[in-house]
Amino acid sequence: MTSSFVRDRPVTEAPSRREPRPAWRSAPGAALVLLGALSPWASAVIPGGAYPGLATLQFFDAPYLVTGFRLHLLLLGLAALLPRASRAAGAGAAVIALVHIAFLAALGVLSFGGPVTLAGGALLIWLGRREPAPEWKLPSRALAWPILVAAFAALLWAVSAMLTAGGQSRATNPHGGAEFLSFLGFAVGLFGILSAYGVLSWLSALAERHRAFSLTVLLACAMLLPLTEAGTGYWMTVASTIGIYAATAIGLNIVVGLAGLLDLGYVAFLGIGAFTAANLAHVVSFPVAALAGAVVAGLLGVVVGAPTLRVRGDYLAIVTLAFGEIFFRAAQNDIGGLTGGANSIPGIPPITLFGQGFDQPVGGLPAGFLYYALTVLLVAGTMAVLANLKHSRTGRAWLAIREDEDVARAMGVRTGRAKILAFLVGATLAGLAGAVFAHKLGTVGYESFDFSESVTLLAAVILGGMGTVPGALVGASLLFVLPEKLREFSDYRLMLFGLALILIMRFRPKGLVSS
């Protein structure tokens, strides 16, 4: 069968497919990227000052001062010379170039460095080697712990840099959106390079082996975020909002990712928790209100989950959608005077503990740190619930139901109980997150819980990877950071969501973090 394939080659020659491509093949692409990084990017001075910060010719006076995306390009261009790294570095460089070309084109300015870098990136992707990542041996414990600490510290730096990339708003930095997207391109390149050398899978295997230690360090690193560049009241608020949605998405991940029950009205449980806590805010203290929110949401979760005993698959999705819509309409019309209707419920007091208001700065830390710490604990708690349930008897029952309900039942899984339990747990977690949501915002209105929010949460779960523990966190961070960062594109937000859902299902149905 292969005879026609090898006919015109001497029989003695070994198949050349395994032969590595020579390393110099990445040299021209890398050279183009480096040239692009050092070239002028804007053909005119654009509003908001020179672009990028340091005019290109000054570079030769002080090369160590080069910053921003040109520094990223320099780093990627140098990294591209490593044989395995060239494809990922090329992809990162290409993304950065595309972002800035588009940004400059929108301002009516031509770019010279852009096309050069783009060509270099394309060349790198085209000529680069595609090989399976090497596998590394795991080190001993004495080495493993410092390595893990260093890795999580690097992760902390990456999160902080990602959060603050591009600045707070369009008012302070007119190039903010482009700078953020460009940083995202750099991050893609960086993670691609690490993954091509097998570093990421090595680190996650290491973290898996020293699980308790890693979780402690991870939690500590999360608490250290206020000490980084992101340690201002503004970023703390953004981070805690993301945390609340991440916790909700993790709850949804139990229902959709583990049990395979598509819930299209999930945000209603966040709303129920928020409205419950808002109504109780002036009556009882926060822990009681939060508990009440979680319990009420959990009970309604059972009510919504009850039809799962009779309804399956697509029909279940429609039932949950209908429940979500009923909640939305009821909240909109101020049902029983509980939701405030169009006026929403204002004046919810901030959480206080030992006389310390959570919206006030504490010690030398920025205002909002306490809310941030609370949401970190919330996220850590929901992640722990998910991780523990996943490997429990119940979790295995859910996975069995997700794969094939009939077979699961035949194998003795009590499917009805397991499905209702999934709804109960998911709704309770969302209710808890909702209580924090209400107190943090100080006002709760029905608009926060419409269908598009449910879709966003679902998209976060799918984007991150259904059923995985870090998946929902990654997905929620991306989906709730992006609109915050790209306010000038807020009109296109939902459109891009729709497109993203289609593309993910088409090209990466298992999500970014696949199990």
Partner 1 sequence: MSTLAQQIVNGLVLGALIGLIALGYTMLYGIVQLINFAHGEVFMVGAFGAHFVSLRLLPADTPWYTALPVMCVTAVAVSVAVAVAVERLAYRPLRGAHKLAPLITALGVSILLQEVVRVFYPGATAPLAFPRAFPDGHLVLGPVTVLWTGVLALAVAPLLAAALHLYVERSRLGRAMRATAQDPETARLMGIDPDRVILATFVLGAALAGVGAVLYGIHYTQIDTAIGFQNGIFAFTAAVLGGIGSIRGAMLGALSIGLVKSLAGQYAWGGAQYDYVWVFALLILVLMFRPQGFLGRPERVRA
Interactions with partner 1, residue window 292-311 (CB under 8 A): 307, 310-311
Number of residues that bind partner 1 (CB under 8 A): 40
8 Å CB contact between 473 and 379: yes
Name the residue with tokens 């959106």.
177
The CB-of-175 to partner 1 minimum distance in angstroms stands at 23
Best CA proximity match to 81, nearest among 90, 68, 94: 90
User: Interacting stretch for partner 1, rule CB under 8 A, among 117-125, 363-371, 378-386, 452-460?
Assistant: 452-460
- CA 191 to chain centroid, in Å, comes to 14
| Three-state DSSP state, 49 | strand
The CB-of-451 to partner 1 minimum distance in angstroms stands at 8
Q: Which of 50, 102, 170, 325 binds partner 1 (CB under 8 A)?
A: 325
Q: Which is nearer to partner 1, 127 or 321 (CB)?
A: 321
Q: Which is nearer to partner 1, 182 or 308 (CB)?
A: 308
Interactions with partner 1, residue window 342-361 (CB under 8 A): none
131, containing H or E segment: none
Q: Which is nearer to partner 1, 438 or 457 (CB)?
A: 457
The CB-of-497 to partner 1 minimum distance in angstroms stands at 6
Task: Give Cα separations from 415 to 175, 399, 409, 420, 424 (angstroms).
Answer: 53, 11, 6, 9, 14
Q: Which is nearer to partner 1, 287 or 509 (CB)?
A: 509
**HEC secondary structure over 242-268:** HHHHHHHHHHHHHHHHHCCCCCCCCHH
Name the residue with tokens 């015109």.
8
Q: Which of 55, 215, 295, 326 binds partner 1 (CB under 8 A)?
A: 326
Strands in 80-229 per DSSP E: none
The CB-of-52 to partner 1 minimum distance in angstroms stands at 30
Query: Max Cα separation, the chain?
Result: 88
Contact between 333 and partner 1 per CB under 8 A:
yes
Q: Which is nearer to partner 1, 255 or 432 (CB)?
A: 255
**Rounded CA separation 366/362 (Å):** 7
Cis peptide before 52 (omega within 30 of 0): yes
Q: Which of 27, 102, 133, 500 binds partner 1 (CB under 8 A)?
A: 500
Please tell me the number of Cα atoms within 13 Å of 20 on its side-chain side.
8
Q: Which is nearer to partner 1, 204 or 452 (CB)?
A: 452
Exposure letters 70-99 (e unless 16+ CB within 10 A, then b)? bbbbbbbbebbbbbbbbbbbbbbbbbbbbb
The CB-of-513 to partner 1 minimum distance in angstroms stands at 17
Site string for partner 1, 461-480 (x = CB under 8 A): -x------------------
Interactions with partner 1, residue window 399-418 (CB under 8 A): 406
Please tell me the number of Cα atoms within 13 Å of 114 on its side-chain side.
20
Q: Which of 136, 396, 452, 512 binds partner 1 (CB under 8 A)?
A: 452
Interactions with partner 1, residue window 71-90 (CB under 8 A): none
Contact between 255 and partner 1 per CB under 8 A:
no
The CB-of-320 to partner 1 minimum distance in angstroms stands at 10
Q: Which is nearer to partner 1, 61 or 491 (CB)?
A: 491
User: Interacting stretch for partner 1, rule CB under 8 A, among 5-13, 101-109, 219-227, 320-328?
Assistant: 320-328
Best CA proximity match to 182, nearest among 55, 51, 87, 61: 51
Contact between 491 and partner 1 per CB under 8 A:
yes
Q: Which of 48, 229, 498, 514 binds partner 1 (CB under 8 A)?
A: 498
Best CA proximity match to 131, nearest among 274, 272, 17, 262: 17
8 Å CB contact between 256 and 249: no
Residues that bind partner 1 (CB under 8 A): 256, 260, 262, 264, 307, 310-311, 313-315, 317-319, 321-323, 325-326, 329-330, 332-333, 406, 452, 455, 458, 462, 491-492, 494-495, 497-502, 505-506, 509
